[in-house]
Amino acid sequence: MGVGERESWTTEEFGTSHEGAVGVLLADGSVPDPVHLDMTSAGSGREVSQWSVYDGGGGVVKAPRAAALRAVCSCGWSGPPHSLRWEEFDERDLAEAGGDVADTCAQEWDVHIVEVERSAITVPEPLAELLARVESEIERLARTTPLAALRAARRLEVIAAQTAYWPALDAGRDATGEQTAAALGLNEDAAHDLLARFGRLRHDH
């Protein structure tokens, strides 16, 4: 079953390997199909899985009614379900009345991402602190001298390409795809792409 368009969250480091969203559960515990939104009289449109459309409406948008919301992640992780108390919604629509529950789901995904960071291979503290300091210094420089900040960022890009080359080749030889993915907090496809990019195994056509 596919997933339609919906609001989602990612981090810069983990990207779509850990893309979070608010998932919907129906009363029987199943995950509903995406809702088709007609855009033209010919019936063409888009598939949407945004939690707030599952209000049981039978009007223009025909969607089942959500019984609970939970945090979900593209890695397969999901948080606990949080029941929606429809009897307390009064005249408010789901987008408004369920907002607090959706926020809770987002916070639980944040906790999941912290766990992903902890399970990834550790960057030694002195180096992690140095990288954080370099990032802060470039951001500070950007406020006064954007071109100098850009040059500094470019130098970082060059350093990354130079210093990651041999580690990428060694990791590709010595570790399985599963081990590499776990160490980097990525899925196997993303980890393979990273090794290929840093190991310069791809060529532009």
Q: What is the pLDDT of residues 155-199, one digit of tens each?
A: 999 999 999 999 999 999 999 999 999 999 999 999 999 999 999
Supply φ then ψ for residue 21, to 5 degrees. -160, 170
CB neighbour list of residue 195: distance below 8 Å, 6 or more residues apart:
168, 171, 172, 180, 201
Residue in 158, 132, 153 with CA at minimum distance from that of residue 141: 153
3-state secondary structure of 143: helix
Quick one: DSSP state of residue 88?
G
pLDDT score of 41: 57
Residue 42 pLDDT grade (very low, low, confident, very high; cuts 50, 70, 90): low
Residue in 101, 70, 71 with CA at minimum distance from that of residue 88: 101
Tokens of 30: 């199943």
Give the mean model confidence (pLDDT) for residues 9-35.
96
The better pLDDT of the pair 85, 43 is held by 85
3-state secondary structure of 2: coil
Q: Tokens 């033209």 correspond to what residue?
A: 40
Query: Domain ranges in the chain?
Result: 8-119, 125-198
| Cα-to-chain-centroid distance, residue 179 | 21
Q: What is the pLDDT of residues 100-125, one digit of tens each?
A: 999 999 999 999 999 999 999 999 99
Burial of residue 3, with CB atoms counted within 10 A of its CB: 0-12 exposed, 13-18 middle, 19 or more buried = middle
